[in-house]
């Protein structure tokens, strides 16, 4: 009991003094206005996408978010490519997931989003684990 009291007192001493003035919160940079592409840049972006560049590559090239690239392409009626997983990749993902790999690790290996891997595993009837490795509630099959 005495050890617990000593330990609690040591912790209490580490707490800030409640009578001391509060420290000001650090100033954060205010979000800037989104970068606008001119019509020539939009044409270049569309041509780049149609030539095979990814939305991530184009975002980096033009200094905009990949979601902004997608929005511009959508606004201009450009059909979007869907980079999915082949049947062989899905088989591999199932095998790796069953070996204990995380969705994120599999996704990084296959260069797709973790949600894509999760969806394909779900379609195959693979129970998805939670972050502690346990089956998710309502996902038991």
pLDDT tens track for 27-73? 666 666 667 899 999 999 999 989 888 888 899 999 999 889 999 99
Q: State pTM to two decimals.
A: 0.43
Number of domains the chain contains? 2
Residue 14 located in a structural domain: no
Give residue 140's pLDDT: 47
| Structural domain containing residue 71 | 39-76
Is the per-residue pLDDT at 13 higher than 50?
Answer: yes
Residue 100 located in a structural domain: yes
SS (H, E, C) the chain: CHHHHHHHHHHHHHCCCCCCCCCCCCCCCCCCCCCCCCHHHHHHHHHHHHCCCCHHHHHHHHCCCHHHHHHHHHHCCCCCCCCCCCHHHHHHHHHHHHCCCCHHHHHHHHCCCHHHHHHHHHHCCCCCECCCCCECCCCCC
pLDDT in tens, 70-113: 999 999 999 987 667 888 999 999 999 999 999 999 988 888 88
């Amino acid at each position: 009991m005495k050890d617990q009291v000593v330990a609690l007192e040591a912790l209490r001493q580490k707490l800030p003094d409640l009578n001391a003035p509060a420290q000001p919160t650090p100033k954060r940079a205010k979000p800037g206005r989104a970068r606008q592409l001119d019509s020539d840049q939009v044409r270049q972006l569309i041509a780049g996408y149609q030539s095979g560049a990814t939305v991530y590559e184009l975002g980096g090239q033009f200094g905009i978010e990949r979601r902004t690239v997608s929005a511009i392409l959508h606004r201009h009626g450009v059909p979007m490519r869907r980079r999915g997983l082949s049947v062989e990749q899905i088989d591999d993902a199932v095998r790796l997931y069953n070996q204990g790999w995380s969705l994120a690790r599999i996704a990084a290996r296959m260069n797709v989003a973790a949600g894509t891997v999760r969806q394909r595993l779900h379609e195959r009837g693979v129970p998805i684990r939670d972050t502690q490795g346990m089956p998710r509630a309502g996902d038991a099959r």
